[in-house]
Chain A
Amino acid sequence: MTAAISLKGVVKSFGKFAAVDHLDLEIPHGTTFGLLGPNGAGKTTTIRMIMNITKPDSGEIRVLGEKMSEALQHRIGYLPEERGLYRKMKVLEQLLFFAAIKDVDKDTAMKRLSPWIDSMDLRPWLQKKTEELSKGMQQKVQFLGTLVHDPDVLILDEPFSGLDPMNVILVKDFLTEFKRQGKTVIFSTHVLEQAERMCESIALLYRGRKILDGTVKDIKHAYLDRVPLPPPVEPEPELEKIFIKAVQESGLEAPTAEELK
């Protein structure tokens, strides 16, 4: 079986700065893959090249076994690091616009989005302008925008950056649901803890080069002797779970978008 995404000897420079330096990557179908590295490692540039937004100086990129094309772009859902929506557009219009630029007609889009809209409690907001929505709500709309064409591969650039714990959970649920459907999920992050918990495979980029890749299991095994082990800890509840519990037990309603403004 061909890889969902493969890069061979990909180079991209901006002036003298080599953002991506001879990068090889193989991302198998159906896995959740983490593209890791500190800021400036070349993660966003790599993702943009996969998405055909910028082109590599040299090297080859194949997506679902083919060279990237406009048709292929439609089989990928992409959430850039810098996410945005048209502030003055109504939510539904916005979603339908995202559908239209992916060649998805209105009926298909509505059929696909309806269950999500309900599960995300977005229905009362469909006729509201984006600028009236809270940040969390906008986040949901953006996610729906990447789903509207039912992609096989989902690429998310720093999906957790700038989110509060509730929204982190939302994104996680989202990714879990995707994985359950057998889709390939690729996301970049510099928060290794997220990656460790969610990814099966990772690649670590540093200064445009890949310095490590493989399944999390294999990598951990390879470094077993070289990296000190953490001290054994008593099992204790995670702060995240405590957060949710405490919020639920407070008995207070979730704030509305108006209140959050």
Chain B
Amino acid sequence: MNAKLLAIIKREYLQQVRTKAFWIATFLIPGLGLGMIFIQVALSRTLVAKGRIGVVDLSGRLYEPLLAEYKARPTDEEEGTKTEPGKDKKTPDAPVLEKASQAQKPKLVTKLDLFQVNATPETLPAVRTKLNEDVQKERIKAYIVLTPKTLETGAAEWRAQSVKAEVVMREQIANYLSRAATKERLRDKGVDPKVYEAARVRVDLEAHEAQEIESGESGKNVGFNIAVSATFFFLIYISIFMYGAYIMRGVLEEKNNRIVEVIVSSVRPTTLMLGKILGIGLVGLTQYAVWAGLAIAVTLPGAAAVMGMSEGIPHIPTGTIGAFVLFFVLGYFLYASLYAALTAPFNTEQEAQQFVMIPGMMLILTSTTWFFAFNQPNGTLATALSFFPFTAPLMMFMRISVQTPPLWQIGLSVTILLATIWAVAWFAGRVYRVGILMYGKKPTLPEIFRWAFQAD
């Protein structure tokens, strides 16, 4: 590598890494991420279902069983709380696992005060008026109306101040009621409700890959893998935007400082551009290295326990990390050169923004499709987007992290990306060369294209 390029890379790198802003961002981003996890864990542990609930039982058969179900709630809660598949397996030889899953499960503080409200179909309107007032004046949280129909079809009524609030509590009560009603219906058919408890079985679909050799990619880690894929996906997304902005600011600084002319009298403009892109790219990698270090620290047992994951954090597959680095680098180069080219002709960030928005939109588009792609990594949409160069860095990474696509597809995607990077870099170099010396009037897009194709 030539010494001038090295000098430019070094300057660019040190310039960024020495700023306070860089270190603040480096620690703030994971800090915010961890903070959000903490808040979520803390919140989910303190979900509260608390309050007085009036029960109008017109069927005359459900109040007592409901109360009984509520009192027997430790087991009820297991069912009432929706957990991700695979997280509450009850394999007798895995007490640790079970403990871990218990720890991860939100603990519901359930303090319901169920009381019966006597009513008949005739007095119901009057009772309703009274109960409605109680709810509005917050003397009670809510009331439910059970009718004989509840036993036949499961239809019942929940009345509270808002239909949106207290969803957790409503779900829980619905659960108790379901069990109570089921048992009553069994009794009608002459079956002892105890049979229900004994016969009830919970089926767990444990996900595995369809391969002769166990890859270790069992569904056990599905939640974790979604998190890893999504995190890396958004890391690529955010970094491209963030470092794109660094490049934009760098180009404008040199241009507005007028230092650029001094530099291009010693170095070729393309070398300056390349140096800038490489230097800032290294800044990005430094940031990732810091984050990787932090992540390793977090996976230490102590830290994991603090986060309520006594199971420890599963290993991130090497393939995912490899794909992440590869597609981050490819995506960064593509967008960085595009940003450099689209910024060079302008004098202010505002002017440049309009054009930089174009690649920005393509990234945003990809980010909105990630969940579809995650669900169907080999679907038409995901496959198409993983070949389109401006979405490929994100989409191909996503596909690889979920399910390794055929090798030829990865190869094709990388080839298309490399070809596009080459073309964009060529275009960027030509536009940059002319653009950095242009002051004053804002050029139009056709003019910019003309620069790219005009003779030296």
Asked if B107 CB lies within 8 Å of chain A CBs, one says no
User: Which residue from chain A places its CB closest to the CB of B259 in the assembled complex?
Assistant: A84
CA distance A186 to B3 in the complex (A): 29
Residues 42-77 of A contacting B (Cβ, < 8 Å): 48, 51-55, 57, 70, 73-74, 76
* Interface residue total, chain B, C-beta cutoff 8 A: 28
Whether B262 pairs with A78 at a CB distance below 8 angstroms is: yes
- Given A53-B437, A101-B267, A80 and B258 contact (CB-CB distance below 8 Å): yes
> Would you call A173 an interface residue if the criterion is a C-beta within 8 Å of the partner chain's C-beta atoms?
no
Contacts of A88 in B (CB 8 A): 15, 19
Q: Which residues of A contact B8 (CB under 8 A)?
A: 101
A contact residues, total (Cβ < 8 Å): 30
Interface code B110-154, partner A: CB below 8 Å = 1, 0 otherwise? 000000000000000000000000000000000000000000000
Contacts of A103 in B (CB 8 A): 3-4
Q: Determine whether B7 belongs to the interface, using a CB cutoff of 8 Å to chain A.
A: yes
Flag if B262 contacts A80 (CB, 8 Å).
yes
Interface flags, A161-192, vs B, CB<8A=1, else 0: 00000000000000000000000000000000
Bound-complex Cα distance A76 to B265 (A): 9
- Nearest residue (CB) in A for B11 is A97
Q: Judge if A33 is at the interface, Cβ distance under 8 Å.
A: no
Partner of B258, one of A53, A57, A78, A82: A82
Those of B249-277 within 8 Å (CB) of chain A: 253-254, 256-268
A169–B4 CA distance with the chains assembled, in angstroms? 34
Q: List 19 A-B contacts (CB under 8 A).
A: A53-B437, A57-B455, A73-B265, A73-B266, A80-B265, A82-B258, A84-B254, A84-B260, A85-B259, A86-B11, A86-B253, A88-B19, A97-B11, A98-B266, A100-B3, A101-B7, A101-B267, A103-B3, A103-B4
A interface residue numbers (CB < 8 A to B): 48, 51-55, 57, 70, 73-74, 76, 78-80, 82-89, 97-98, 100-103, 142, 145
Further contacts, 20 of them, CB under 8 A, given A52-B265, A86-B11: A48-B261, A48-B437, A53-B265, A53-B437, A76-B265, A83-B259, A84-B254, A84-B259, A84-B260, A84-B262, A86-B253, A87-B253, A87-B257, A88-B19, A89-B11, A98-B266, A100-B3, A100-B4, A101-B8, A102-B266
